[in-house]
Amino acid sequence: MPRLGEFELLVLLSILRQGERPYANRVRTDLEENARRRVTRGALYRTLDRLAEKGFLEWELEPSEIPERGGHPMRRLLVTAGGMTAVRDARDVLTTFFEGVGEATPDEA
């Protein structure tokens, strides 16, 4: 199974935590506001394509009534079962390693 990069993981998590099948702009705003990093559009779209290629992500176009979009549809994003597994694996790896850190956990240092 293909592995997840850090940014890919953040993107998947952002989609998951928003529920309601968010579209790209929401993911970008979430990452910029809460992951404290600058996200360029190019990088985000490329990552979405890559996640879809890896089979972690699915999307469908949905007609949008929002006037600001000028009649363009929205791409609703959904994490696949494979994506869920990959996210869980990544979490397990991180947890294992944080547990090993013990008392020197960055929070308490």
Partner 1 sequence: MSPSPPRLPLRLLSRVLRNDPAGRAILGDLQEDFVGLISSRGPGAARRWYWRQAISLAVGRLIQGMLSAIGRRPMNDSPSLGSLLQDVVYAARAVRRAPGFALFAALIIGLGVGATTSVFSVLRPLLLAPLPFERPQELVWIANEGDAGNNSLSAVTSRSGNLRDFRTEARSFEGLTGYNAFFDQDAYTLTGVGEPERLAGVGVAHDFLDVLGVDLVLGRSFTEVEGAWGGPGAVILTHGFWWRRFAGDPQVMGRTLELNGEPRTVVGVLPPTFDFSSIFAPGVPADFLVPFPVSDETDQRGNTMVMVGRLRSGTTPESAQQELDAVVTALQEAEPDRWGLAARVTPLQEHVAGPFRGALLLLAGAAATVLLIVSVNVSGLMLARSPRRSREVAVRKAMGASRSRLLRQLLLESFGVSLLGGALGATLAWAMTGAVSRTAAARIPMMDQVGVDAGALLFGIGVAVITGLVVGLVPALHVTDGDEAGVLRASGRGSTSGRGVTRLREVLVIGEVALACGLLVVGGLLLRSFNAVLDVDLGFQADHAVAWQLNPSRAFESNAEVATFFGTLADRVAQVSGVQEVGLIDALPLGRSRSWGFSIPGRPESEDDGLGLYPHLVSPGYLAAMGIRLEAGRNLDRSDTRESAPVVMINEAGARRLFPGQEALGRFIQLWDERQWEIVGIVHDVHHLSPETDPGIQVYFPLTQMGDHQTLDLVVRSTRPSDEMATAVSAALAEIDPAMPTREHWTVLSTVDRAVAARRFTLGILSGFGLAALLLAALGIYGVLAQSVAERTPEIGIRMALGASAGDVVGNVIGRTLLLTAVGVALGTGLAFWGGRLVRSLLFGVEATDPLTLLVMAALLFAVALVAATVPALRAARTQGARALRVG
Interface contacts to partner 1, rule CB under 8 A: 23-25, 40-42, 45-46, 48, 59, 61, 64, 66-70, 72-75
C-alpha closest to that of 81 among 58, 53, 48: 58
**Is 5 within 8 Å of 69 (Cβ atoms)?**
no
Task: Considering the complex, state which of residue 73 and residue 98 has its C-beta at the smaller distance from partner 1.
Answer: 73
CB of 96 to partner 1, least distance (A): 26
Task: Considering the complex, state which of residue 40 and residue 96 has its C-beta at the smaller distance from partner 1.
Answer: 40
Integer Cα distance of 16 and 32 in angstroms:
16
CB of 90 to partner 1, least distance (A): 20
CB of 51 to partner 1, least distance (A): 12
C-alpha closest to that of 31 among 73, 22, 101: 22
Task: Considering the complex, state which of residue 35 and residue 52 has its C-beta at the smaller distance from partner 1.
Answer: 52
Phi, psi of 54 (to 5 degrees): -75, -10
